[in-house]
Amino acid sequence: MAKIRAMQMVAVAVLCGTAGLAGAVALLGMPAAPLVTPVSAKPTTAAIAKPVAAVKPVALAKPAPPAPDPGYVVKRILTVKSPFVHGDYYWDEAGVPDGPVVVTVDLAAQVLSVFRGGYEIGTAVMVYGADEKPTPLGVFGISQKDANHVSNLYNAPMPYMLRLTNDGISIHGSPVGSNLATHGCVGVPKPFAKLLFGAVKLGDRVIVSRGETLSLGEQVKAAS
């Protein structure tokens, strides 16, 4: 009998497929095998990244303020023989770097000095304007250069002329002596005038004072 039922089940299964097999079991009164319930996979919990702590900004050191400009400072004063008398001059620019040129004229000392970048490169005893036609004080820019200039007022040669004012006050080569004076110009020995002419350019400053001497390390305020 069991064999017959098994054959009946096979026949039904062939006709009806797997579902028919389950039905056949039920029809034949046989206990049905429990259906396998698919087990759902447990949901995977994704690892949540921990928040990264914010990096505290590091305060950058403030740059040091630039050093104040010391201006035009006297860095060297020439050593000259003593006494320094009319007709004497001294020139030494060996090893002196390039730099702005400033000319100082001290009427009280009757000395003209030439500075380049703060280094004195030349100095000379000079003559200046008589009381009737005094040499003006102040700061002047060189406005004209003429190596072969002749005064149109006095018809006098003014070699290596450096013009300071529109009315003709200049620095130029001239005879220099204790008993000599000019019509307001600054006169220096002609060989020195030639050196000075080659050292300056238009616009360079000339400071004319009376009794204002300069010391090593001193700032020349009028030159700034």
CB contact set of 134 (below 8 Å; sequence gap of 6+) = 128, 184
Distance CA 212, CA 122 (A): 18
pLDDT digits (tens, 9 = 90+) for 144-181: 999 999 998 888 999 999 999 999 999 999 999 989 99
pLDDT digits (tens, 9 = 90+) for 62-84: 666 655 556 789 999 999 988 89
Most confident of 23-27, 40-44, 159-163: 159-163
Judge whether residue 121 has pLDDT over 50. yes
Q: Report pLDDT for 120.
A: 97
**CATH number assigned to the domain covering 89-223:** 2.40.440.10
pLDDT digits (tens, 9 = 90+) for 14-24: 334 444 444 44
Distance CA 104, CA 78 (A): 14
> Taking residues 102-119, what's their average pLDDT?
96
Q: Where in the chain is the domain with CATH 2.40.440.10?
A: 89-223
CA distances in angstroms from 124 to 22, 99, 145, listed in the order given: 134, 21, 19
Judge whether residue 29 has pLDDT over 70. no
